[in-house]
Structure 1
Amino acid sequence: MSSPSTTHDQRRLFLALWPEDAERRQMAEMAASIAGRRRVRDAHLHLTLVFLGATDSAHLAAYEAALADVSVPILDLILDRYGYWPRPRILWLGCSRSSLELDNLVANLRQRLCGCGFTPERRPFQAHITLARNHPGPAPMQSPVAPVHWRIGEVALVESLREENGSCYRVLRRWPG
């Protein structure tokens, strides 16, 4: 007999800031200009807030209940610097100035989810948009010519689905501010 949390019931989930078309186009143009063919697919550009990982239906229901009344503040992010992590070979776009409001939102989300048995990652949150994977590095020394000004007022629950050509992301739900 299989339990409710068997692997077929698992969904790979994360909470993210999901860009609108205008911001996504600008991020995609940056990725194309500096990363070429190694860039992340345009439809995959996002800012992960909390990685939930493999999640069964019982935990998903508990997470959604814990987030039901979450308040998402209006955030104005300015994505104006490139970065590079050599070990995973990730080229990313981020903010030169941290956002206390964004850090507080992530802390609030993690706290709510911990009440449902969620265990957050040990590494500290660092706001970034992954532009390219397997990038030879380093990050470009110059700042983006036109920084991305991104106004955010909602958090998206996103599922990562495996497909023949890689993965596909699907927004399942949004929590507006």
Structure 2
Amino acid sequence: MRRLFLGFAPTPAQVVQLSALQRDCQSSGQPVNQANLHMTLVFLGMVSQEQEQQLRDAVAGLPRCRFSVTLDQLVYWQGAKVLCLSGTVMDPALKQLAHCAGQLAARLGLHQSEHPFTPHITLSRKAKSLPAKVVPPSISLQPDSLHLYLSHNPGDGVRYDIIQSWPLRSG
């Protein structure tokens, strides 16, 4: 069993912006490692080998159209104790992809979130509050690939490694 999720990677320039925002918010929890910054499409949880193969086969059939999403709101989720840069789903392509990915997870008997899809990048964990007087940048994600990530701890902390990617199509 492996812990997996589908998501998108920010560009190197966006990682620089996100790292600067993390520094501005340094009093708010433990910053997420730069290499782990991502936007989750759907968290899948613990996945068996058989489910993983079915997942990999089925992702190829998802409506993987390019999209744009603006992340420009600094939010604190008290229950999860995380600080995030968040946005609103406006692009129908992202809305459709998130819906279809959730349906795929349900069909394979994988984790189902109790929350609606909210595009976000987690900046820090174990946060206690929203930092005052921090103005977040506006980051426009326009990924060209959907990634399957493996979440694991090789002994030096949690790592999110991309184990497969699928290109997003124009229009």
User: Larger deviation: 27-36 or 126-135?
Assistant: 27-36
SS at match of 1:103: helix
- Partner in structure 1 of residue 162 of structure 2: 171
Q: CA RMSD in A?
A: 1.9
Q: In the superposition, relative to structure 1, how do residues 116 and 107 fare at CA in structure 2: closer, same or farther (>3 Å)? A: same
Structure 1 position 154, deviation (Å)? 1.9
Question: Could you tell me which of 143, 148, 167 is aligned with 1:152?
Answer: 143
User: How many angstroms apart in 1 are the aligned matches of 2:104 and 2:155?
Assistant: 35
1: CA distance, partners of 2:130 / 2:143: 29
Task: Output the amino acid matched with 2:54.
Answer: A
Amino acid at match of 1:168: R
Q: Distance in 2 between matches of 1:108 and 1:141?
A: 38
107, 120, 123: which one aligns with 1:128? 120
Aligned to 2:9: 18
Alpha-carbon distance between aligned partners in 1 of 2:39 and 2:138, rounded to the nearest angstrom? 16
Residues 7-30 of structure 1: CA deviation (Å, up to 9, x unaligned) = xxx111000111121111211111
- Deviation of 1:142 after TM superposition, in Å, equals 4.9
Question: Is the 8 Å Cα contact of residues 67 and 91 (structure 2) preserved in structure 1?
Answer: no
The structure 1 segments of at least 4 consecutive aligned residues displaced by more than 3 Å after TM superposition are 139-143
Matches of 2:115 and 2:23, distance apart in 1: 29
Report the CA distance shift for 1:140/1:45 in structure 2 as closer, same or farther (over 3 A).
Answer: farther
What displacement does 1:74 show? 1.5
2:24 aligned residue: 33
Amino acid paired to 1:21: P
Matched with 2:69 is 77
TM-score by length of 2: 0.87
Q: Offset at 1:34? A: 1.3
Q: Is the 8 A contact 1:74 1:152 kept in 2?
A: yes
AA of the residue aligned to 1:154: S
Aligned runs of 1:132-143 on 2, under 5 Å?
Answer: 132-140=124-132, 142-143=134-135
Please report how far the alpha carbon of residue 165 of structure 1 lies from its aligned counterpart in structure 2 after TM superposition.
2.2
Q: CA deviation at 1:100?
A: 4.0
| Alpha-carbon offset, residue 117 of structure 1 | 2.9
- Identity between Structure 1 and Structure 2 (%): 27
Distance 1:116 1:134, change over 3 A: closer
Structure-2 separation of matches of 1:93 and 1:33: 13
